[in-house]
């Protein structure tokens, strides 16, 4: 018997709906829902251990996976099984995690797992936009201590009109692609890319998404009430001691305030803070520290945070001595690495990124194979964050989720400025060499300069900046170019990238409730001033893209050829193209246009002479002589019945010059008239209807000898010695031939 189910439907306002259902699947999980829109279905389950973990943080794991069966496809690879998550899945995990994590109590440390699975795919529905809704709805049906329901929505804009959760087709026409995460009261997370929009337009897009999210949050509340809201579980809270907290605050606050006001460097500041902490711990006995050592560290951190925040709010000063809108010193350099196709260093304060650019053919495109999306990227960016960049020693265990997320943000910031007609596949690699505040924005800046250094004709240069916000009551301060220490002590941190004309990408995490849109717009405008300052530093280093690629970098030429010539260029078993690449030291890639079915030939090489040889070969293959025209040819082979000649304007295009077309006089030996290597003119007559082969003639352009008499044409009706097939019929058979049956007798 199918169990009773509970369902809520959300109207998106344009005929589309999202349904949330529970009660049928995964009932042993602490909460489970199926979220559906069209044929797209997500199953989300949540489980949290009842025993607190022995850690001082929330061990939350958000896992999002797309099943290939959901799209009626097989996974790639040998084992035909889903393996590690793709970058797209990791990015969705990050989007959900960033909204959920702040809503759990700070003292809740039970291991918690949120699993979201794409079970059925719809080409018109982007599943990642519903992942946050699914996660929150499942939590609302559980007994977890969780502050309030949230949801996420994607917002696009087509012809000036905002749209919620656009399809892939609609997104292709949109100038905004943003995912907003929020509760009914507050916006908490924003991430996306835009086509040079203004700060006010970005705020309007966030408002529009928030209104839709309010409806989705209300639906979760109704579903939980219908299902039967569970009592919130009891858990062992963290130990607290208000007297100890006040004592630590009084001991630490003034000392921390003084160090913070000193404007020292990261390492000096960290050492001074560590010394203050040790002095405070020294006032306690070893026995006391064994009992309350954890509380001492916790309360010291709170006192340190309070002192630093107050310094900024009261005096407008920051940890390194800057004012709130001041940018750290910047220096840049291009063409640093001699063998790369493009390189640049961007250093801002204690953050440094070295970017390299590599140019290639479509063969080097990044292939994306997900159940919800198949395609390729001709421009992509990889971001590496080694431990030495923060002065740490720790093992490297593959690409982290952070590296995937930061690299994706920088990629989205830059990709819109790469021209559509760029013939190359472009890969940027950012190596973060130092980090103290927004290495992803340093990646955007170094990536911009590296692209220009490589000769990629960027439409406009792009810069990026990380911003922060500290607020207390009616007082607030917007911080430009935040430090790593300021990242976690503020109420909002956001990264904004753009050109001189508008925003191209953003990533925002808002930790304070009810942030007004007025403050948000002010922060975005302050970010614009910072971006323009940084942009000026970039353009002072390299004002425009180099006119051409570097001498050692490959040049790319693209040619379009009719479909019927693709096979000739490839040759049997690839022989022609392989030999051509070897001879010319080039890379040749042939793709077929899916619409016109024409061949798109990419020629990549460092030697222009080699590229020219390939182009000549292509022109030769496509050479089509016109009937009645005269062409210069060269003898390349001697035969008994003629000479094989090739057109000098199209080497490789050969045709037989028959012995009868050499001269007006009868020719017994071909060598009596022409020899190997001879160059002369012939007239082209097209395809001979009798031989069905192309016909050229040398004698046709020579004057007839005086008194020359043409031989009469052959009588094709005679047959061969009166015994041809045309003159035979059953009546001509010999009378003495016996039937086959008689012979057997």
| Alpha carbon distance 115, 137 (integer Å) | 12
Which tokens hold the place of 239?
């130990």
| Helix 131-140, helix 199-227: angle, nearest 10 | 30
SS3 84: coil
Buried/exposed 188-204: b ≥16 CB within 10 Å, e otherwise: bbbbbbbebbbbebbeb
Contacts from 686-692 at CB under 8 Å and sequence distance 24+?
A: 686/627
Does 678 carry a binding-site annotation? no
DSSP 420-488: TT--SEEEEEEEEEE-SS-HHHHHHHHHHHHHHHTT---SS--EEEEEEEEEETTEEEEEES--HHHHH
Q: What is the 3-state secondary structure (H, E, C) of 705-744?
A: CCCCCCCCCCCCCCCCCCCCHHHCCHHHCCCCCCCHHHHH
The verdict on whether residue 493 carries a ligand-binding annotation is yes
Closest CA to 382 of 350, 354, 421, 361: 354
Residue pair 328/348 in contact by the 8 Å Cβ criterion: yes
End-to-end Cα spacing for the chain: 84
Quickly tell me which residue has 């190596």 as its tokens.
431
Cβ 361 vs Cβ 556: under 8 Å: yes
β partners of residue 638: 643
**Three-state secondary structure call for residue 491:** coil
Q: Report how far residue 334's alpha carbon sits from residue 542's, in angstroms, rounded to the nearest whole number.
A: 8
Helix (H, G, I), strand (E, B) or coil at 498: strand
Residue 137: name the closest of 38, 49, 30, 32 by CA.
32
How is residue 134 annotated by DSSP?
A: H
Annotated binding site for Mg(2+): 487, 493
Annotated binding site: 487, 493
């Amino acid at each position: 018997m199918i169990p009773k189910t509970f369902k809520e439907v959300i109207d998106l306002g344009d005929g589309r709906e999202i349904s949330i259902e529970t009660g049928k699947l995964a009932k042993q999980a602490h909460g489970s829902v199926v979220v559906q829109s069209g044929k797209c279905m997500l199953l989300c389950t949540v489980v949290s251990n009842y025993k607190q973990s022995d850690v001082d943080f929330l061990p939350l794991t958000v896992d999002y996976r797309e099943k290939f069966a959901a799209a009626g496809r097989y996974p790639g690879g040998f084992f035909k099984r889903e393996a590690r998550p793709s970058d797209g899945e990791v990015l969705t995990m990050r989007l959900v995690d960033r909204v959920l994590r702040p809503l759990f109590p700070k003292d809740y440390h039970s291991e918690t797992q949120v699993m979201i699975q794409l079970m059925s795919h719809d080409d018109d529905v982007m599943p990642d936009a519903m992942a946050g809704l699914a996660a929150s709805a499942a939590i609302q049906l559980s007994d977890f201590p969780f502050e309030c329901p949230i949801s996420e929505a994607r917002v696009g804009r087509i012809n000036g009109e905002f749209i919620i959760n656009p399809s892939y087709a609609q997104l292709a026409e949109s100038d905004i692609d943003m995912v907003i995460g929020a509760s009914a009261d507050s916006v908490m997370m924003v991430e996306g890319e835009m086509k040079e929009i203004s700060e006010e337009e970005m705020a309007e897009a966030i408002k529009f998404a928030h209104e839709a999210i309010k409806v989705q949050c209300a639906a979760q509340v109704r579903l939980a009430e219908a299902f039967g809201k569970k009592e919130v579980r009891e858990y062992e809270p963290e130990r607290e001691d208000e007297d100890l907290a006040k004592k630590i605050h009084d001991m630490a606050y003034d000392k921390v305030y003084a160090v913070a006001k000193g404007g020292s460097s990261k390492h000096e500041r960290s050492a001074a803070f560590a010394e203050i902490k040790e002095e405070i711990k020294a006032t306690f006995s070893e026995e006391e520290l064994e009992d309350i050592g954890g509380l001492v560290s916790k309360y010291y951190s709170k006192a340190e945070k309070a002192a630093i925040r107050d310094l900024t709010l009261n005096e407008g000063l920051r940890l390194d001595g800057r004012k709130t809108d001041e940018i750290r010193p910047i220096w840049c350099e291009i063409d640093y690495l001699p063998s790369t196709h493009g390189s640049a260093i961007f250093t801002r304060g204690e953050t440094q990124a070295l970017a390299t650019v590599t140019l290639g053919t479509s063969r080097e495109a990044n292939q994306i194979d997900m159940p919800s999306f198949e395609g390729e990227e001709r421009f992509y960016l990889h971001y590496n964050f080694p431990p030495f960049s923060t002065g740490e020693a720790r093992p490297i265990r593959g690409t982290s989720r952070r590296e995937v997320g930061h690299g994706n943000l920088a990629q989205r910031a830059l990709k819109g400025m790469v021209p559509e007609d760029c013939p190359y596949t472009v890969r940027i690699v950012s190596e973060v060499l130092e980090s103290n505040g927004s290495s992803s924005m340093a990646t955007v800046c170094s990536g911009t300069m590296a692209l220009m250094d490589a000769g990629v004709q960027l439409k406009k240069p792009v810069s990026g900046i990380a911003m922060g916000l500290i607020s207390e009551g009616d007082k607030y301060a917007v911080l430009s170019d935040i430090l790593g220490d300021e990242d976690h002590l503020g109420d909002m941190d956001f990264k904004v990238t753009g050109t001189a004309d508008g925003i191209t990408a953003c990533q925002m995490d808002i930790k304070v409730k009810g942030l007004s849109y007025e403050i948000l717009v002010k922060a975005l405008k302050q970010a614009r001033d910072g971006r323009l300052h940084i942009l000026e530093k970039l353009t002072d280093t390299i004002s425009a893209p180099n006119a051409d690629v570097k001498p050692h970098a490959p040049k790319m030429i693209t040619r379009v050829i009719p479909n019927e010539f693709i096979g000739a260029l490839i040759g049997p078993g690839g022989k022609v193209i392989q030999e051509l690449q070897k001879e010319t030291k080039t890379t040749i890639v042939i793709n077929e246009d899916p619409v016109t079915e024409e061949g798109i030939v990419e020629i990549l090489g460092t030697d222009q002479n080699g590229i020219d040889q390939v182009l000549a070969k292509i022109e030769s293959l496509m050479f089509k002589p016109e009937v009645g025209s005269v062409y210069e040819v060269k003898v390349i082979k001697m035969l008994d019945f003629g000479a094989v000649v090739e057109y000098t304007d199209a080497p490789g295009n050969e045709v037989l010059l028959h012995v009868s077309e050499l001269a007006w006089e009868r020719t017994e030996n071909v060598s009596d008239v022409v020899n190997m290597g001879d160059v002369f003119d012939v007239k082209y007559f097209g395809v001979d209807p009798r031989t069905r082969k192309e016909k050229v003639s040398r004698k046709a352009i020579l004057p007839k000898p005086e008194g020359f008499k043409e031989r009469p044409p052959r009588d094709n009706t005679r047959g061969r010695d009166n015994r041809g097939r045309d003159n035979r019929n059953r009546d001509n058979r010999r009378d003495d031939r016996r039937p086959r049956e008689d012979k057997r007798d």
